[in-house]
């Protein structure tokens, strides 16, 4: 029996390694060199888009795969006998083949056909390795489905990706003063918005040569284009991973496309690392956090230059650490834990320029007085750390406020905006605040159509609303059936309160900076702004009210089933992403 299991492990290991090698070859030949194949077919000769940065990344990945694959094999073999896998894998393969044939015949695009094949192969790997271990699932997810989104999602997508890559490009050239002195890079500035893989593939043949300058067209008629193209004004820390990816590709002579994709890849890796840390820290309710962390819109944003992935990672780590400390004996909480907690809170403050500052209320789920009394000998050190942290946060806030007051105008994309005038309008009459608040609540959290933007049609096509309905049912199912912890009243009240305050703060920021002066409805407020706090609310739903305890084996089977269903919904979104519908 042991020999049989060893043989299965070897077969699975070989299959995985071969599958990844095939996937790399497909990407290298059909995506990176797709334009060269088309040139060859059209009789224009044979050429090859060689890239050292891609080659080094392939080799590094394969080395890591061979080294660490054994840590995932046992879980994979254990769950292969589950009915959900025995039924799910063959169905997935058949559907993937049919979709590939449909794409190949209907679209005739080598790039989209190759993308579907890659999604199919990597999807099989995920289904083979998915288990009840959400930490390992997260790693496998990012190196299968996640990696496909780094090149299949439209380039310069409409959620400000062009602004974000411009920030990372400025940082890669050593310009950290990108807010006041933004630099212009023609190599990426001239790429159209929402550029799909068919139009972007030609840039694999074009070597990247940095030519940043301050030669912006700031004329009045070009103002909106300038605002949509200049660097985003967020803290540089949020762009470190993508900047590292750009620098890596530049140093190894990557093409324009390589540089762009590597920034996305490194952003995805950073998101994966933070998600893994958060899932390891969580003492309970990992399932619902995992589902939100792998939600399609989150993966699309994490696998692009958007800072939403970084924000989600930082906030989730802070929430997870608060829950971990709350679940510990207060006598075990020392100065090290306090320092880590403060550092994670500062990380949350960087997200969206202090918009999530209200999450600091979560600290009050801890028995603070008891913790301080237990550490009374180190109280001076703790107080010093707190004071230093307050000073750092105050300086960051003053810089942010100073940048806001330097210009009377908010974001011109919103129309006739002005932060001081908007504040004056709100303060002129209490009824204005009530009107704005009531209209906003009605148009957002009480409006189903608002929630459908969690599955944005920009990415997932005209059936995004119908697909989101399925996703919503699935998320609620997971929340209602996750009975891993009975959460106390104090944690429940503070979680709800901090979530409501985050909603209020993020709404206020959009109203001040993006909404025309005097307008009652808040412009531009999207549900992705509340995604980081969504697991915090969803984890409160069950609280052992609806589903009783189950045995360990049934729980594992349920966890595997839940992960497989989440992949089905992601696959549907992926089909829409490449415009099959």
> pLDDT, tens digit, for every residue of 456-468?
888 888 888 999 9
pLDDT at 406: 46
The SS3 assignment for 184 reads strand
d(CA 334, CA 18): 48
Residue found under tokens 């929402």: 194
pTM: 0.93
Integer angstrom CA distances of residue 151 from 263, 264, 578: 11, 8, 11
The SS3 assignment for 289 reads helix
pLDDT at 581: 39
Contacts of 447 (CB under 8 A, 6+ apart): none
* Sign of the torsion formed by the C-alpha atoms of 357, 358, 359 and 360: positive
Which of 186, 190, 171 is closest to 267 using CA atoms?
171
d(CA 35, CA 293): 35
- Residue 123 and residue 571 in contact, taking contact as beta carbons nearer than 8 Å: yes
- Mean pLDDT (10-residue bins), the chain, 581 residues: 74 95 96 91 88 96 96 90 88 86 79 91 94 94 95 90 94 91 87 87 91 78 79 92 96 95 97 97 94 94 95 96 93 90 88 85 90 83 81 69 54 82 90 93 94 89 90 93 85 94 92 91 92 93 59 75 88 76 39
Q: DSSP states of 200-254 as a string?
A: HGGGGGSB-----B------GGGHHHHHHHSPP-S-GGGGHHHHHHHHHHHHTT-
d(CA 96, CA 137): 21
Helix ranges (H only) for 444-531 are: 448-451, 457-460, 464-481, 489-514
Which of 51, 455, 431, 4 is closest to 253 using CA atoms?
51
Which of 276, 268, 383, 284 is closest to 326 using CA atoms?
284
Query: How many other CB atoms sit within 10 Å of the CB of residue 50?
Result: 12
Integer angstrom CA distances of residue 579 from 147, 151, 572: 19, 14, 11
The SS3 assignment for 181 reads coil
pLDDT at 521: 93
Which of 94, 151, 79, 88 is closest to 118 using CA atoms?
151
Residue 307: both structure tokens together: 């800072």
- Residue 514 and residue 355 in contact, taking contact as beta carbons nearer than 8 Å: no
d(CA 410, CA 408): 7
pLDDT at 245: 97
Residue 181: both structure tokens together: 């002195």
pLDDT at 25: 97
d(CA 383, CA 362): 19
Residue 165: both structure tokens together: 């890559």
Strand partners, 213: 184
Q: How far is CA 521 from the centre of its chain?
A: 28
Residue 437: both structure tokens together: 């608040």
Secondary structure element (H or E) that encloses residue 309, with its range: helix 308-327
pLDDT at 397: 66
d(CA 305, CA 13): 33
């Amino acid at each position: 029996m042991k020999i049989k299991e060893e043989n299965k492990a070897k077969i699975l290991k070989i299959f995985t390694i071969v599958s990844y090698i095939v996937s790399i070859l497909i990407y290298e030949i059909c995506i990176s060199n797709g334009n060269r194949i088309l040139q060859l077919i059209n009789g224009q000769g044979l050429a090859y888009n060689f890239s050292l940065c891609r080659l080094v990344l392939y080799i590094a990945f394969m080395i890591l795969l061979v080294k660490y694959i054994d840590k995932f094999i046992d879980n994979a073999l254990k769950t292969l006998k589950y009915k959900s896998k025995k039924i799910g894998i063959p169905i997935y393969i058949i559907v993937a083949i049919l979709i590939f044939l449909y794409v190949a015949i209907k679209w005739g695009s080598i790039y989209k056909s190759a993308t579907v094949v890659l999604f199919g192969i990597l999807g099989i790997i995920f289904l083979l390795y998915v288990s009840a271990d959400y930490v390992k699932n997260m790693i496998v997810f990012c190196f299968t489905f996640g990696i496909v989104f780094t090149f299949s999602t439209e380039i310069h997508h409409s959620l400000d990706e062009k602004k974000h890559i411009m920030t990372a490009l400025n940082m890669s050239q050593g310009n950290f003063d990108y807010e006041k002195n933004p630099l212009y890079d023609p190599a990426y500035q001239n790429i159209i918005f929402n550029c799909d893989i068919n139009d972007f593939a030609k840039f694999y043949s074009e070597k990247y040569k940095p030519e940043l300058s301050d030669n912006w067209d700031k004329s009045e008629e070009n103002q909106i284009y300038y605002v949509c193209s200049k660097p985003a004004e967020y803290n540089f820390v949020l762009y470190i991973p993508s900047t590292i990816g750009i620098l890596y590709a530049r140093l190894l002579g990557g093409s324009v496309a390589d540089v762009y994709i590597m920034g996305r890849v490194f952003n995805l890796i950073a998101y994966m690392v933070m998600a893994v840390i958060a899932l390891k820290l969580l003492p309970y309710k990992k399932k619902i956090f995992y589902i939100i962390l792998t939600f399609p819109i989150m993966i699309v944003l994490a696998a692009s230059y958007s800072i939403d992935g970084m924000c989600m990672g930082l906030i989730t780590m802070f929430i997870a650490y608060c829950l971990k400390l709350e679940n510990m004996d207060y006598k075990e909480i020392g100065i090290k834990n306090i320092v880590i907690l403060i550092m994670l809170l500062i990380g949350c403050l960087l997200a969206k320029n202090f918009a999530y500052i209200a999450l600091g209320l979560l600290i009050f789920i801890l028995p603070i007085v008891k913790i301080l009394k237990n550490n009374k000998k180190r109280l001076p050190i703790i107080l010093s750390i707190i004071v230093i942290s307050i000073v750092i946060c105050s300086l960051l806030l003053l810089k942010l406020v100073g940048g806001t007051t330097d210009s009377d105008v908010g974001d011109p994309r919103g129309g006739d905006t002005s932060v001081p005038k908007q504040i004056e309008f709100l303060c002129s009459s209490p009824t204005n605040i009530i009107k704005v608040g009531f209209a906003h609540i009605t148009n957002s959290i009480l409006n189903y159509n608002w929630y459908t933007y969690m599955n944005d049609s920009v990415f997932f096509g005209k059936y995004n609303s119908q697909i989101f309905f399925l996703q919503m049912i699935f998320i609620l199912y997971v929340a209602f059936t996750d009975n891993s912890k009975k959460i106390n009243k104090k944690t429940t009240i503070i979680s709800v309160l901090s979530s409501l305050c985050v909603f209020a703060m993020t709404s206020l920021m959009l109203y001040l900076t993006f909404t025309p002066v005097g307008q009652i409805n808040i412009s531009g407020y999207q549900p992705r702004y509340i995604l980081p706090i969504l697991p915090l609310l969803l984890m409160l739903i069950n609280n052992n009210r609806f589903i009783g305890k189950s045995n360990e084996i049934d729980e594992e089977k349920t966890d595997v089933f839940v992960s497989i269903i989440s992949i089905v919904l992601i696959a549907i979104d992926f089909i829409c992403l490449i415009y099959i519908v």
